[in-house]
C-alpha cells in the first residue's frame, strides 16, 4: 500500500486530541471542538511542526462523525480545532466501533489485563464473542490502512494501547518499510490468566503486537508479563525489542493550573463542606480521585474508611473522606451497578456515623478537574488502592500539587508502586483491615516526615514528564 501523504511521525490512538459537540442552529447544526491534553499532545507539540506529524484516531460519537463528513474531504480536521495538530479521524461504522470498543477492548481485553473476571460465571467465549472479535479486527484494520496511506518512507509510527493490539502486525504487512512502536497503558496479564483467552485469539493478539519493532510498557513487571506470554504461546519475542517508560506527572502544568481562580473557589467550597472539628481546628482529609472503574477499588476503599471509624473512634468528627468517583463506561451494566454500589456505601457510612455537624464521606460524581486539583491541594492523605493499575497518575499528581505535603496510601498492585513504594504506605488492595490501619498510620504521621516524604514522592513522580516520555519512545524508534 503506497503512501499518499508522507508523514514522518504518526500516532494512532482510539481517542484523539479533539472531540466535537453538535449544537442546533436551525440548519445542519454548529460543530464545537473541544481539545484534550495529556502526554501525546505534549509529545507531538515537543517535536515541533517541521516533523510533519499526523495523529490518526477514531470518531467516538455522532458529532465526531459529522465533523469527519464535513471536513475530511481534505483528509484533515481544521487546524483551528486541533490546536495545530494534523489529525485524521476515522469514521468507523457505529456498530463495528461499539463491538470493538465496548464488546472487546473494554469488556474482554481490559478485564483480562486487570484480572477482573468472576471466573465461576465469566468469561464465556461464545459465537457472539467471535462476531465482536471480527469487528475488533475490522476496527484495527481501518487504523492500519490509514497509517499505511499517511506514512512517509521509513516513518516512525507509535501505536497506543489495548484498543489497537493488532495494528502493528497489520501495518507491517502493508508497509514493511516503516518503524513501528506500540505502547501499553494498562498492565499486562500473567501468562496463566492471559491464556483464559481462546488459544487462537491469544496468539493473534501477541503476534499483532510482535509486528512492532519495539514495545513500550509502564513498568518492568508488565513488560516481563508480556515476554512470559510470548515465551509460552509464540516461542519468544521474535526480535521485537521491549522498553519501559514510566509516564510521569506534568509538574509545570499541574502547579500552574492548580493555582487558578476556579481551583481556589473550589477549595473554599470543599473546606465549607468538610467543616471544622469539634475543637474548632481543621479536620483531616483523606482524598481519592478516580473514575468508577472496577479496577480502582473504590468500594474497598470505603470499607476501609468505615473500618477506621469502627476501630479508631477517636477519628470520628475529626476526619472526612473526600471521594471523587467520576462515572466511567456507564453504557456497560456492570459499571452502572458498581457506581450505584459506591453511592450506596457512601450513604450508609454517612447515615451510620454522621452527626449534624459532620458528614464522614463527601462524595462527588460529576467530573470536575478544577475540583480534583482543589482536593489535591488540601489533602492530608491520598488513598490510591487499585486492584491492578498500569500506572495511576493520581498517585503521582497529588504529591506534586499538595500545599502542605500529604501521606500516600498506595496499593502494591499499582504500576506507580515501582517508583513511589519507598515513600508511600503500601497496602494489599484486598485487605480492608490492613488498609484501615494504613489510613490511621497516614493520618498520624508527623508533619515534618509527611512533608519530606511528599517532597521525595513529587521528585520521583515527575522524573519522566509526558513530553519526554513520548520523545524517548520516538528516539528509540
Whole-angstrom CA distances from 379 to 74, 253, 280, 322, 383 are: 49, 19, 19, 9, 10
Q: Which of 324, 394, 386, 397 is nearest to 361 (CA)?
A: 324
Compute the distance between CA of residue 140 and CA of residue 425 in angstroms, rounded to an integer: 41
Give the model's pLDDT for residue 255: 95
The pLDDT of residue 143: 98
Q: Enter the DSSP assignment of 165.
A: T
Residue 332: per-residue pLDDT: 75
DSSP 8-state code for residue 315:
G
- Helix (H) / strand (E) element for 455: namely helix 447-461
Phi and psi dihedrals of 136, rounded to 5? -60, -40
Half-sphere exposure in the Cβ direction for 303 (13 Å, CA):
13
Task: With beta carbons less than 8 A apart as the criterion, state whether 190 and 228 touch.
Answer: yes
Q: What's the confidence (pLDDT) of residue 73?
A: 67
| Residue 279, burial from CB neighbour count under 10 angstroms (0-12, 13-18, 19+) | exposed
**Using 50, 70 and 90 to split pLDDT, how confident is the model at 28?**
low
Please identify which residue in the block is written with the cell numbers 502493508. Answer: 174
> Per-residue pLDDT averaged across 89-106, rounded?
96
Tens of pLDDT along 282-331?
Answer: 899 999 999 888 999 999 999 999 999 999 999 999 999 999 988 877 77
Give kind and range of the element (H or E) at residue 289: strand 284-291
Report the DSSP pairing between strands 18-23 and 30-35: antiparallel
Among 217, 202, 141, CA closest to 173: 141
**What does the block give as the cell for 276?**
471544622
Confidence of residue 84 (pLDDT cuts 50, 70, 90): confident
Give the pLDDT confidence of 166-214 residue by residue, as tens digits. Answer: 999 999 999 999 999 999 999 999 999 999 999 999 999 999 999 999 9
Compute CA 235 distance to the chain's CA centroid, rounded to the nearest angstrom: 31
- Bridge pairing between strands 54-58 and 214-217: unpaired
Convert the pLDDT of each residue in 120-167 to its tens digit. 999 999 999 999 999 999 999 999 999 999 999 999 999 999 999 999
**What does the pLDDT look like over 236-264, one tens digit per residue?**
998 999 999 999 999 999 999 999 999 99
Is 90 exceeded by the pLDDT of residue 39? no
In angstroms, the Cα distances linking 462 to 223, 275, 469 are 21, 33, 11
Query: Per-residue DSSP letters for 56-108?
Result: EEE--SHHHHHHHHHHGGGTS--HHHHTT--EEEE---HHHHHIIIIIIIIII
Residue pair 158/473 in contact by the 8 Å Cβ criterion = yes
Give the chain's domains with CATH numbers. 7-248+468-476 (3.40.50.2000), 251-461 (3.40.50.2000)
Amino acid at each position: 500500500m503506497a503512501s499518499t501523504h508522507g508523514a514522518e511521525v504518526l500516532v494512532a490512538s482510539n481517542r484523539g486530541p479533539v472531540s466535537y459537540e453538535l449544537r442546533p442552529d436551525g440548519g445542519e447544526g454548529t460543530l464545537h471542538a473541544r481539545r484534550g491534553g495529556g502526554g501525546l499532545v505534549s509529545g507531538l507539540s515537543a517535536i515541533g511542526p517541521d516533523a510533519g506529524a499526523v495523529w490518526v484516531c477514531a470518531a467516538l460519537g455522532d458529532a465526531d462523525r459529522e465533523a469527519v463528513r464535513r471536513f475530511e474531504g481534505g483528509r484533515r480536521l481544521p487546524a483551528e480545532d486541533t490546536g495545530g495538530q494534523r489529525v485524521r479521524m476515522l469514521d468507523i461504522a457505529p456498530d463495528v466501533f461499539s463491538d470493538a470498543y465496548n464488546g472487546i477492548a473494554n469488556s474482554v481485553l481490559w478485564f483480562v489485563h486487570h484480572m477482573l473476571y468472576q471466573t465461576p460465571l465469566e468469561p464465556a467465549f461464545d459465537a457472539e464473542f467471535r462476531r465482536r472479535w471480527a469487528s475488533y479486527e475490522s476496527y484495527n484494520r481501518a487504523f492500519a490502512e490509514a497509517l499505511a496511506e499517511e506514512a512517509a518512507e521509513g516513518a516512525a509510527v507509535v501505536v497506543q494501547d489495548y484498543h489497537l493490539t493488532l495494528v502493528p502486525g497489520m501495518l507491517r504487512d502493508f508497509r514493511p518499510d516503516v518503524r513501528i512502536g506500540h505502547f501499553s497503558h494498562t498492565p499486562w496479564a500473567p501468562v496463566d490468566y492471559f491464556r483464559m483467552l481462546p488459544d487462537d485469539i491469544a496468539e493473534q493478539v501477541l503476534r499483532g503486537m510482535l509486528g512492532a519493532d519495539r514495545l513500550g510498557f509502564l513498568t518492568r513487571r508488565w513488560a516481563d508479563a508480556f515476554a512470559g506470554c510470548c515465551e509460552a504461546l509464540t516461542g519468544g519475542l521474535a526480535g521485537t525489542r521491549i522498553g519501559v517508560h514510566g509516564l510521569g506527572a506534568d509538574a509545570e502544568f499541574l502547579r500552574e493550573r492548580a493555582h487558578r481562580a476556579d481551583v481556589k473557589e473550589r477549595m473554599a467550597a470543599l473546606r465549607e463542606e468538610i467543616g471544622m472539628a469539634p475543637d474548632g481546628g481543621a479536620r483531616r482529609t483523606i482524598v481519592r480521585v478516580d473514575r468508577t472503574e472496577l479496577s480502582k477499588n473504590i468500594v474497598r476503599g470505603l470499607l476501609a474508611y468505615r473500618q477506621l471509624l469502627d476501630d479508631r473512634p477517636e477519628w470520628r468528627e475529626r476526619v472526612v473522606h473526600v471521594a471523587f468517583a467520576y462515572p466511567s463506561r456507564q453504557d456497560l451494566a456492570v459499571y452502572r451497578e458498581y457506581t450505584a454500589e459506591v453511592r450506596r456505601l457512601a450513604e450508609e457510612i454517612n447515615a451510620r456515623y454522621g452527626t449534624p455537624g459532620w458528614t464522614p464521606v463527601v462524595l462527588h460524581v460529576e467530573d470536575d478537574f478544577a475540583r480534583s486539583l482543589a482536593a489535591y491541594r488540601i489533602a492530608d492523605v491520598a488513598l490510591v488502592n487499585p486492584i491492578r493499575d498500569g500506572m495511576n497518575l493520581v498517585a503521582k499528581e497529588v504529591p506534586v500539587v499538595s500545599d502542605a505535603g500529604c501521606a500516600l496510601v498506595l496499593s502494591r498492585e499499582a504500576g506507580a508502586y515501582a517508583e513511589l513504594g519507598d515513600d508511600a504506605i503500601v497496602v494489599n488492595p484486598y485487605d480492608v483491615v490492613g488498609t484501615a490501619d494504613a489510613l490511621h498510620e497516614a493520618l498520624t504521621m508527623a508533619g515534618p516526615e509527611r512533608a519530606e516524604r511528599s517532597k521525595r514522592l513529587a521528585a520521583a513522580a515527575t522524573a519522566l514528564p509526558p513530553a519526554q516520555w513520548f520523545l524517548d519512545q520516538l528516539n528509540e524508534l
